[in-house]
Amino acid sequence: RKFIVAIDGPAASGKSAVSETLAVRLGFLHVNSGAIYRCATLLAIRNDLLDLQFKKNLDRMREILKETKITMGPLGTSPIKNENVNRPSTAIFLNGENVTDQISKIEITKNVRFLAKIPEIRAASIEKQRELVQSKNLFETRADSKVDGVIVEGRDIGTAVFPNADIKFFIEAEAKARAKRRFDELVARGLNVDINGDPVDYEQILEDILQRDQEDLTRTHSPLRKAKDAIVIDTSNLSLDQVVGKVESSILK
Ligand code: C5P
Given this model, what pLDDT does residue 88 score? 72
- Sign of the CA dihedral 215, 125, 130, 240? negative
The ligand 1 atom nearest the CA atom of 161: 21
Give the contacts of 180 (CB within 8 A, at least 6 positions apart): 202
Task: List the chain domain ranges.
Answer: 3-252
Let me know if 171 is exposed, middle or buried by CB neighbors in 10 A (0-12, 13-18, 19+).
buried
Query: Could you tell me if the CB of 216 is within 6 A of ligand 1?
Result: yes
* CA 94 – CA 100 distance, rounded (Å): 9
pLDDT tens column, 35-47: 999 999 999 999 9
Residue 172 Cα to ligand 1 middle (Å): 14
Given this model, what pLDDT does residue 80 score? 46
Q: Shortest CA distance to 161 belongs to which of 199, 117, 122?
A: 122
Given this model, what pLDDT does residue 79 score? 44
Let me know if 191 is exposed, middle or buried by CB neighbors in 10 A (0-12, 13-18, 19+).
middle
* CATH assignment, 3-252: 3.40.50.300
Query: Could you tell me if the CB of 40 is within 6 A of ligand 1?
Result: no
Given this model, what pLDDT does residue 90 score? 86
**Which amino acid does the sequence have at 40?**
A
Name the closest-CA residue to atom 8, ligand 1: 34
Given this model, what pLDDT does residue 91 score? 87
Which residues, given as ranges, of the chain have pLDDT below 70?
A: 75-87, 137-145
Given this model, what pLDDT does residue 149 score? 92
Query: Could you tell me if the CB of 14 is within 6 A of ligand 1?
Result: no
Given this model, what pLDDT does residue 143 score? 59
Query: Could you tell me if the CB of 212 is within 6 A of ligand 1?
Result: yes
Q: Shortest CA distance to 243 belongs to which of 159, 172, 179?
A: 172
The ligand 1 atom nearest the CA atom of 153: 21
Given this model, what pLDDT does residue 188 score? 86
pLDDT tens column, 79-137: 444 444 566 778 899 998 999 989 999 899 999 999 999 999 999 999 999 999 998 76
Query: Could you tell me if the CB of 153 is within 6 A of ligand 1?
Result: no
Given this model, what pLDDT does residue 46 score? 97
